[in-house]
Amino acid sequence: MTYPHTNGMVTDKSYAYVPSYTSTLDPTRQQQIVTCYVNTNRPNANVTIKNDSARSTGTPKPLALFDKNHTPLPFDTNSGTFSMTTESSGRAVFLVGSNSGDFYITQLTLTADDGSEFSAPFVFGDLDPNLAGNLPALTIAGLSQNNNLQVPTSDVPQLFNVTIASTNLPAAFIPSSRIAVILNNILVYCGNLSALTADGINIACSLLKTTAGATNTIGYFIAKPDGQFWSAALLSPLKNFTASGTAIYIPSVNNRTLVAPQPVLISSGSVTPADMANNGLKLAIPASPAISAGDLADVYVSINGTDDQTSQPLKDVSVFSKINPLSDIFIVPQTRLSGYQTNSFFMFEYQLFDSIGQSKGWSNSAIAQSYKQFPAILLETIKNNANADGVEQNRASAAYYADNGIPAANVPITFTLGATGNAVFDGNQKSKTLITDNFGKTSPVLFTDSHSGGETVELTTSATAAQTIKNFTFTQATATQLGIIPIKNNMPADGTSTCSAKASISGSGNVSNISVNFTTSSNSTFFIASNGVTVSADSKTATAQTGIDGLTAEVFFTDNSNTTIDITITASANGLTNATQPFHFTQTATPLTLTLAVASDDNSAATGNGQDKHSAIAVLSPAKAQAVTFTLPSNQQATFSETDTSIYTLSPDKKTVSVISDVQSGQTPIVHFTDANTAGEFVVLTASTSGAQDNQHNFGFGPVGQTAIVLDKYLDNSVANGHAINAVEAHITVNGYPPLFRTPITYHVTGSAYWQTNNQHTLNDTIHNNDGYSINGFYDTNTAGETVSVTATCNGVTSDPLEFTFAPYNQHTQTTVTLSKAMDEQPADGRSLNRADATVNINGASAPNGTQVTFFASGHARFAFSDASIYTTSTSGGSAAAPFYDTNPNGETVTITAKSGGSTSNPLTFTFEPSIVPLAPIVILNPYEGEDIIIPINIGQHGPVYASGTATAGQVLNFLLNWQPFGSSTVNSAGNWTSPPIHDSGNLTLSVSYASEGQNAPRWTVHFSVEYSDT
C-alpha cells in the first residue's frame, strides 16, 4: 500500500472536508482543518508558505491558512505566498483549509529564511454522491453480483484490491494525474493515477464495516494536468457495498520466536510528532542469528485507536513487503500514523522469509502508545553488534527535546554503561557527559568490550526530567572475513534493470576504509557507477570502500543479454579470501494485452427482439492460447446465444461465456449475444483474461417497432469551394418515440459532395442526444456548383432523398467577418443567452441570405439551438445571430470568434454573471377551492432549486405540493412553506383548499417563487 510522504512537515491528517457552497470555512471545525507542525530551527524567523499547485499570484484561493489562534495568515498577491513568524523555539504551527468549495489535491511548501524547504500533501473533498462527475467507478476485486465483498479467512491481515479501467477515463487524464482514494471517509491512497490503472492498490480489510446491513462507501478524487498546474479535482461515482466475514488487523499466529522490531522513539513505548520529523517513524529489525543474507521480511504496522477526524474507533493495518532486514533503518510514512487521538496503540511485527520465499517464522510484537508529553531523550544507535575484542566500537548519540517538543541546545546529557558489564568508554570510564548542539543533539559516544565471549550491555542516557535506556550487543570475537550481501536479485536482463549487493568485512581486526573490488566473468554484465562506487573504463570492475560498520556502498550492475542467465559476482580485498555470490537475471517479458473489438458479422442495427445479434472478438498480444471470458451485465436482458459446447463454455444464466484464444493469432472465436428488452438498451460487454487488464465495449440494441426518418435542410445553398458546408438534420422516431441515445444511423450523399467528418460519400454516425435528432455537414468539390441528394438509414429503414444545392465557387471572392455584441452580461445559469452578431461582406457587398457562418466559443459557453456552432445570414444586411449560454455557475468571461468563406473575425469577449440569483416570484390572486395550479420549472444545468410560498390574507389555506414526474413530496401548511430540494426539471402542481368557504370570505393571495442554490 502506498501513502504520500512528507518532507519535514508533520500533519495531524491528510484529508479534510470541503465546506459547502453555501457555508464558509470555519477554522475551529477540526473536520475542515489540517494542523501542520514544522521545526525550522530558525527562532523568531519569517517564513513563507506556498500552494505548489496555485494557478496565479493574485488570489489565495483555493486554500486558506491560519495561525494556531485561528487568525488568517497574511497573503502577498505579488508572490502568491502566505507568511508568518516562527516561535522562539523555531517551530511554525499553522492551519490549512479549503475556501473555494472545490475538491482539491495539492502540496504545500514552507520556505525558511535560510532557504530550507518543508512540504506535505493535502486532500480536500466531500463524498457527496450528488457532486459525482462523469468518471468510471472503482473496480473492487472479488465483489459479488449483489455488491458484497467476502473477507477471506486468514491468520494474517487481509487486503482487497481496487483498480480503475483506464479505457473508460476521459482522455484529459494521464498516468501522472493526481488521485486520492477515500474509503469510509478515510484516505487510503494519494499518488499517481498509474498505480490504479496498472496493478491497482491493496487496502486493509480491517477498514471495512462488516456488520450486517452496514454500507461501505468508496470513491476517488482526481485532478488532471493543466499546463504546469493542476485543475480542481473531480469526484468519481461512489460505490456502495457490504462486506461480510471477519477482518483482522493483527496476525494471529503462534510460536513467535524472532526478536521484535524496534521503533526508534524519543521516549520508549510512546510515539510523538517529533519521532516522525524525518518523513516518518524509524523502524529497525535487530540483528539475529535467524536472519541470513538474502532473507526478506513483510513488516506489519497495526493500529487500534480513535480517529481524530470522526472520533470513531478505528483499526487499520499497513503491510510493507520485501523489506531487507539487513539494510538501513526502514521508515513508516508519518501519514499512516497521523490522525489518531492520544492513547491510540501502534503494534509492529514482521514475518521473515528465506531467499526462496519459505517462511522462517514470526517476530514478537513491539507496542507503542501515541503522543506522550515532553521533555524526552532520543537515544539513537549508530553502530551495534561490534566484536567483543576490546578494539571494535559500538556507537550511540542522543537528542534532547524540551517540554514544548522542540530540540534544545546546551543541555548536559550523561551516558552511563551498566556496572556489571565489561563495556567502557575511552579511558576505561563507565560514565560520560556531553552537551547538545543547536539541533539538540550530542556528538557520538564510542565504547568497547573485552569480554571475548560477547555480551549485552545497558546504556542509560539521562538529563533534566528525562531518561532513556537501550541495550547494545557485543558479539563473540571472530576472525576477519569478506562476504557479499545481496540487495536486489532476479531482475530482467534488459540492460536497464539492476541487481545490487554490498560487501561486508567482519571480525576482530580493522573493518573500515578497506578497498573492495567487485568483478564478474559474464560478458553481458556491466557495473554502474554510483555514490561511493567507481567503475573501470570497460565497466567490468567496480571498487568501493568499507565504512565504520564494515559495509561498502551498494554496488549496482545490469545485464543486456535479454535471456535468462545466472552470473557470479566476486569480491576481493588485500589479505582476505575472495567471496562469491550468484545472481539471476530473467528474460525480458512482453506485457500481455487484451483487445476487445466488434466482429465482422456484427449487426449494427440489432434491436431488442431476442433474435438480432451483436458479435465481438478479443485478441491477445503476444499471441498465445489462453482462456478468455466474456461477461454481460447481470441486471440487463442481454444473453449469449452460443450452442457449440466444444468451443464455448456458457454459464447457466447465459451471462458469461469462456473460449480459448488461438495460439498463432491470439484471436478468440466470435461470440454472439441477443437482447430481449423491446424498449431497447445499451449493454457493456467485458472481456477478461489472466495477466492482462480487462477491456470493455458498448453495444446498443434498438427498440422493436416501426422506424420513421424525416430529413430537413439545416443549411443549404453553400458555395462549392471544398470546405463550405451544407447540413442535413435527421429526425428519427420508433413507434412515435425517439430512439435510444447512440442508435446507429448511416448517411449517404451523391455527386462531388463528401461528409465533413470522414471525407467520404457514406457516414456511419449515431444519435447524439435523447430527442432523436442528428445533424451532419457535407461539402462539395465541384466548383461549377451542383445539386446533390442525401438519404439516411436507421434500423434497416431508409429515408426519402432530400436535395441540396451548392452554388458555383468564385475563386476571387474576398470575404470579411465582423462581430458585434447584441446581448451581454447575462447570468451563467445554463439557459440565459448572450448573443453575438456576425456581419459578412463578400467583395464589398453584404452576403446573401443563407451564407454559412461558423461560430467558436471558449470556456463553458455553448451555442443555444443545437450542438452545432453553424448559423446562416438571415437579413439583407448579411448578418447572422448566434445566441449562447454558459454552464459555469460562478460566471466567467468568454471569447467568441466567427468564420465564413475562409475568413475569421477578430475575437470579441462577453461576460456571464454568476447565476446564484432568485427568479422573479409568481403571484397567484384569490385561488379557488380545489384549484390546481400547474407551474413548469426548468432548472437548466444547475440545481437544486427550492420552491417557497407565502399566504398574505384570508382564511386557513392548505397547500398540497406534488412534484412530477420525478416523484412527489407533500407540504401541508398554512402561512409560509418551503419545499424539499428539487433536482430535476418538471411540473410543480400546487393544489389549494380552504378550511371554510363562504361567499364573502376573503381569499388568500399566494406568492410563489423558485430560488436556485449551488449547494
The fold adopted by the segment(s) 707-806 is: Immunoglobulin-like (2.60.40)
- Three-state SS for 387? strand
271, exposed or middle or buried, with CB in 10 Å at 0-12, 13-18, 19+? buried
CA distance 109 to 82: 10
Q: Which three cell numbers stand for residue 264?
A: 526508534
Which of residues 519 and 284 earns the better pLDDT score?
519
Four-way CATH pick for 593-701: 3.60.21.10, 2.60.40.10, 3.30.565.10, 3.30.470.10 = 2.60.40.10
Q: Which amino acid is at 33?
A: I
Q: What percent of the chain has pLDDT over 70?
A: 79
Q: What percent of the chain has pLDDT over 90?
A: 24
The fold adopted by the segment(s) 376-474 is: Immunoglobulin-like (2.60.40)
Q: Which three cell numbers stand for residue 910?
A: 462577453
Through-space distance between the first and last CA atoms of the chain, rounded to whole angstroms = 35
Enumerate residues 6+ apart whose C-beta is below 8 A from 149.
140, 142, 143, 160, 208, 216, 241, 242, 243, 244
Whether 583 shows a pLDDT value over 80: the answer reads yes
Predicted confidence (pLDDT) per residue in 194-236, tens digit:
888 888 888 889 889 998 889 999 999 888 765 444 567 888 8
Strand ranges inside 738-814, DSSP E: 744-749, 753-755, 762-766, 773-780, 786-794, 797-798, 802-807
- Domain 815-912 -> CATH class: mainly beta
Q: How far is CA 405 from the centre of its chain?
A: 35
Average pLDDT over residues 290-307: 84
Helix (H) or strand (E) holding 283: strand 280-284
Average pLDDT over residues 75-87: 88
Predicted confidence (pLDDT) per residue in 664-707, tens digit:
888 999 999 999 988 788 899 999 998 788 889 888 887 777 78
Instruction: Report pLDDT for 343.
Output: 67
Which of residues 167 and 96 earns the better pLDDT score?
96
Q: Which amino acid is at 265?
A: L
Residue 523 is given by DSSP the state T
Instruction: Report pLDDT for 225.
Output: 63
Contact of 285 with 297, CB cutoff 8 Å: yes
Enumerate residues 6+ apart whose C-beta is below 8 A from 429.
none
Task: Give me the residues paired with residue 97 across strands.
Answer: 64
Instruction: Report pLDDT for 938.
Output: 53
Helix (H) or strand (E) holding 826: strand 826-827
Q: What share of the chain is helix, strand, coil (3-state, %, to 5)?
A: 5, 50, 50
Range in 218-232, 509-523, 532-546, 580-594 the model is least confident about: 218-232
Average pLDDT over residues 48-54: 79
Predicted confidence (pLDDT) per residue in 436-495, tens digit:
988 788 999 999 988 867 889 999 998 877 777 888 998 876 657 889 998 898 888 888
Whether 285 shows a pLDDT value over 80: the answer reads yes
Predicted confidence (pLDDT) per residue in 909-957, tens digit:
999 987 654 444 455 555 555 555 666 555 544 455 555 555 444 444 4
Strand ranges inside 356-453, DSSP E: 359-362, 366-370, 376-383, 386-387, 394-401, 412-417, 424-425, 431-435, 445-448
Enumerate residues 6+ apart whose C-beta is below 8 A from 328.
none
Helix (H) or strand (E) holding 893: strand 892-900
Residue with cell 417497432: 705
850, exposed or middle or buried, with CB in 10 Å at 0-12, 13-18, 19+? middle
Of 294-298, 801-805, 1001-1005, the range with the highest mean pLDDT is 801-805
- Three-state SS for 166? helix
Contact of 807 with 770, CB cutoff 8 Å: no
The CATH classification number of 478-586 equals 2.60.40.10
Instruction: Report pLDDT for 954.
Output: 42
Contact of 504 with 482, CB cutoff 8 Å: yes
Instruction: Report pLDDT for 924.
Output: 54
